[in-house]
Amino acid sequence: MPLLPQDPYSLKCSYSLKRTVLFSGSSLLTNASMLGMNTTSPHCPMEAQWFVGIYTVVIYAPLAFVYVVVASLFIKHPNAFHPLFVISFFLILLAYTTSNFILFFRNLLEFFFIDELLFSILEFILIAANYYTQPIVILALLERLAATVFVTNYEKSLQWIPYLIGQIICVVFVVLMSLSQHEGNLINNIQICLSLVICVCLVALFLVNRNKTANSVGKSTLTTRYQLAENIKALRIFVPFIVLDNVISIMFVITSYTISIGRKFDEDECNKSSTYVPIFSILRTIAILIQISMAVIVVYMHESMKVSSLRDYCYRRSNRSEDISVTINKPDKLKIKNVLGKNIVEQETGENYFAQLSKQWQKV
């Protein structure tokens, strides 16, 4: 999961300055000069820093909107997955939505005024949302793993109790990380370790599902097929979402060690090189595009979230150019593929039913 996002105008004063923009016709740079906010570095002028701030607002605005829409659509279809997975994944989307919106909203406000209390509250929510993301992902993966391993009695067990304990652990983790947030190297190392744990959980879930699927061919119960189908649907959304998210984290880890450019705008590094701002802006753009693709994948892989009105519109348009007798086709088969790529649930037509019945009679 991502390292804690840092915007160029954080409360930690990454620029070592505070900005106030007056409600007048004066330009931003004029107001900055009046406040003594000039920089003496030729590599990182005030204009470049203002550009990064404005650019951050512009690109985070659509990202915040996209995640608000995706989170709203997801919660409108609570019956598509197991209740515990729905809760976990919604909390993940909510954390992303909160983080992106605050980054956009706070950067926007800083162009007009600085309020210590308000910004402290926003900073606290931002930190909590980002530190909460990784442990809730691990909890969601462990819940699906338990549902597969204990498939025979999972639905009858008290799965809510360990899940609530897991949520408490997540909250405690957020508190501890918040208290240690000034230890940059420690925080990065912990988040990298959690990313590795997430990868291990994904591999374990895949292997367990594959083993269960192979052993259940021809003899699986309805409960087993249900849990396998649940895990498959969850993996279709979860795997690409987490993989892309880890790509962002790895990208910034590599750039931090190689060219000293991370998520957080570093004025000291900016003063050393004239290429810092362009590269930082490019990396931030790449991260934003990846996060947007993550949201698109959630909608695309969640069949219930696909816009049915558009599908119905296209269907009606196609019917206008075809004869009614041609459009009356056989009902589509409902297929759910397992991790091996084979169908484990299939709604059979009358033709398949009688074919199988004929084979049974031949055995008698």
Per residue in 227-245, pLDDT (tens digit) is 677 777 777 887 888 888 8
User: Which position has the higher pLDDT, 354 or 153?
Assistant: 153
| Secondary structure letter of residue 111 according to DSSP | T
In this structure, which long-range contacts are made by residues 27-36, counting pairs with CB atoms below 8 Å and at least 24 apart in sequence? 28/111
Please state the domain extents for the chain: 28-306, 318-363
Distance CA(5)–CA(138), nearest Å, equals 20
pLDDT of 326: 41
**Is residue 217 over pLDDT 70?**
no
Q: How much of the chain exceeds pLDDT 90, in percent?
A: 4
Distance CA(104)–CA(100), nearest Å, equals 6
Q: 105-137 burial, b for 16+ CB within 10 Å, e for fewer? A: ebbbbbbeeeeeeebeebbeebbbbbbbbbbbb
Which pair of tokens denotes residue 322?
Answer: 């075809």
Tokens 């983080």 label which residue? Answer: 99
Per residue in 205-214, pLDDT (tens digit) is 888 877 877 7
| Secondary structure letter of residue 100 according to DSSP | H
Bridge partners for 337 per DSSP: 343
Q: Which CATH class is domain 28-306?
A: mainly alpha
**Is residue 112 over pLDDT 90?**
no
**What is the three-class DSSP state of 336?**
strand
Helix (H) or strand (E) holding 346, with range, is strand 343-346
Distance CA(259)–CA(97), nearest Å, equals 30
Amino acid at 17: L
Task: Provide the pairing of β-strand 343-346 with 335-337.
Answer: antiparallel
Answer yes or no: are the C-beta atoms of 333 and 348 closer than 8 Å. Answer: yes
| Among the ranges given (81-95, 138-152, 261-275, 290-304), the one the predictor scored with the smallest mean pLDDT | 261-275
Distance CA(281)–CA(188), nearest Å, equals 21
Amino acid at 359: K
At 345, give phi and psi (nearest 5°).
-135, 125
Q: How much of the chain exceeds pLDDT 70, in percent?
A: 63
Which pair of tokens denotes residue 163?
Answer: 């899940």
pLDDT of 155: 67
pTM: 0.69
Answer yes or no: are the C-beta atoms of 144 and 231 closer than 8 Å. Answer: yes
Answer yes or no: are the C-beta atoms of 260 and 271 closer than 8 Å. Answer: no
Tokens 């802006």 label which residue? Answer: 281
